[in-house]
Structure 1
Amino acid sequence: MAGNTSRPGATVVSRVLALLGAFDETHRRLTLTELARRADLPVPTAHRLVGELAAHGALARTPSGEYVVGRQIWSLGVLAPVQTGLLEAASPFLHDLYAATLATVHLAVRDGTQVLYLDRLSGRRSVPVVSTVGSRLPLYPTGVGKVLLAHAPERVQVEVLSSLTRITPHTITQPARLRAQLARVRSDGYATTVEEMTLGACSVAVPVRRNEAEVVAALGIVVPSLRRDRPRLVAALQVAAHGIGRSISDGS
């Protein structure tokens, strides 16, 4: 939620960005009143700006009168450098992984203290998950998130470990235990979760490295259980991650 955009002198750009920033993973549909409140704007100001954003396709109004992010914003978002080259390089490998496993496959990057899902492939036989393309989830209870957190700067790790919230009965919320797990992620080269984000869903993920050094993304698979297939899934993920890393390194 944006702050103090209603102050005198606030620019139109800052107010528009506050309105767009009012949307997040848990606020995908907002009424005009909710938009104004979350953007810290007077309702008449929000009404005027929202109308212009809707007219240009940045927002769209649902039949029930709520507003959602429009296609124009999505079209611009996919042009972001963090996505274009990485998504193009990763796409064939994600499709190969999905074809081989029929499990939900994720490509994700770190966005501050959250994991941002850039792509997801799944089918009717896949385990139901809460992630969607463009969604953000906490780093610590997700496989791809743990990979990214393990390779994040110390300040990010400190911030995340200072506010661990239980999402399921299996979510790790003890900082010392999570730190030990992150150390194993760095040494083993992969991360796992067992029903920490969603009951009935386990995940395994590996880092994607540029020039075989910098971790720029994480590649993960969600399955019902890791008891038998973990070695096979880790191997498949590592082959795919190496291929993606080589592609983005050659193109950089």
Structure 2
Amino acid sequence: MIRRATQLLAAFTAERPALTLSQLARRTGLPLTTTHRLVGELVECGLLERHPEGTLHVGLRLWEIASLAPRGLGLRELALPFMEDLFAVTSANVQLAVRDGHETVFVERLAGRSAVPVYTRVGGRFPLHPTGVGRVLLAFAPPDVQEAVLTGPLPRYTPHTVTDREALRRVLADVRSHGFAVNDRQVSEDTLSVAAPVHGADGTVIAAVSLVVQAGSALPAALAPAVQATARGISRALRDSAVRDV
């Protein structure tokens, strides 16, 4: 039952935030009667909400529960002041992400009206190999995760996206060596990102923070120190929080 309920909740996407009962049944492959019964229980629990016109949406109660995830809300609250400082200086996109399996999950993002448009959103997922934060997370991931990603599909988003496995191995080695990643037009033709690792209390890399600007508007070497300083600040806040909780 839990697995089927999860299937129903996972059927909602940023592109399809509202679905009818029949659409849910088709997207999950569950019988309509089963879908009807489970949806009724999810609505009763507040995990789904039913719009007056009949469509279903993810419920506020689900958001309340999900916000308690330690890699979400806790990390976000500690990181936000440092991200705001970086945003105040640059007025560009500032993003915070974690790794979940072989994907990047964005847990926070700051952007102004003048910031270059990006494809990412809070709560959204993206492959690890093409983004700045993803490359940082992949570079410091366990070897088995790195191999699984490098030997799996590597989608190309622009003509500049690195999809050659050996070239990507060199990129990851460079990230570990220099302590930051530079992604020039890897996801879209008009973006450049610089990302740095965020370390947890035990020293392992648990997240990555990035600055995304208009491609060609700045030299990566000029952006890297500010991004690294932001990452160090978040890492320090995480260590201090762990000490207070002991």
Which deviations, in whole Å up to 9, do the C-alpha atoms of 1:49-92 show, x marking residues without a partner? Answer: 21332343312345765433222111111111112331121010
Distance 1:195 1:63 in 2: 44
1:250 aligns with 2:240: yes
Distance 1:241 1:79 in 2: 22
Aligned to 2:119: 130
Which deviations, in whole Å up to 9, do the C-alpha atoms of 1:85-105 show, x marking residues without a partner? Answer: 311210100111111100010
Aligned to 2:20: 31
SS, match of residue 211 in structure 2: strand
SS, match of residue 141 in structure 1: coil
Aligned to 1:190: 180
Task: Select between 182-191 and 49-58 the one with higher mean Cα deviation.
Answer: 49-58
Task: Select between 21-30 and 159-168 the one with higher mean Cα deviation.
Answer: 21-30
Contact 1:59 1:68 (8 Å CA) reproduced: yes
SS, match of residue 213 in structure 1: coil
Aligned to 1:214: 204
What TM-score does the superposition give when structure 2 sets the normalisation length?
0.90
Which deviations, in whole Å up to 9, do the C-alpha atoms of 1:183-202 show, x marking residues without a partner? Answer: 00000111111221122111
- Partner amino acid, structure 2, of 1:191: A
Aligned to 2:225: 235
Q: What percent of counterpart residues are identical?
A: 46
Distance 1:195 1:64 in 2: 42
Aligned to 1:147: 136
Q: Unaligned 5+ residue runs, structure 2?
A: none
Contact 1:203 1:223 (8 Å CA) reproduced: yes
Task: Select between 90-99 and 16-25 the one with higher mean Cα deviation.
Answer: 16-25
Flag the 1:163–1:38 CA change in 2: closer, same or farther, 3 A: same
Contact 2:136 2:181 (8 Å CA) reproduced: yes
Distance 2:192 2:52 in 1: 37
SS, match of residue 109 in structure 1: strand
Flag the 1:68–1:196 CA change in 2: closer, same or farther, 3 A: farther
Paired residues in the alignment total 241
Distance 1:73 1:25 in 2: 15
1:114 aligns with 2:103: yes
Q: Unaligned 5+ residue runs, structure 1?
A: 1-11
- Partner amino acid, structure 2, of 1:198: S
Contact 1:103 1:126 (8 Å CA) reproduced: yes
Contact 1:113 1:156 (8 Å CA) reproduced: yes
Distance 1:240 1:98 in 2: 10
Which deviations, in whole Å up to 9, do the C-alpha atoms of 1:123-148 show, x marking residues without a partner? Answer: 11011011111100111110100000
- Partner amino acid, structure 1, of 2:12: F
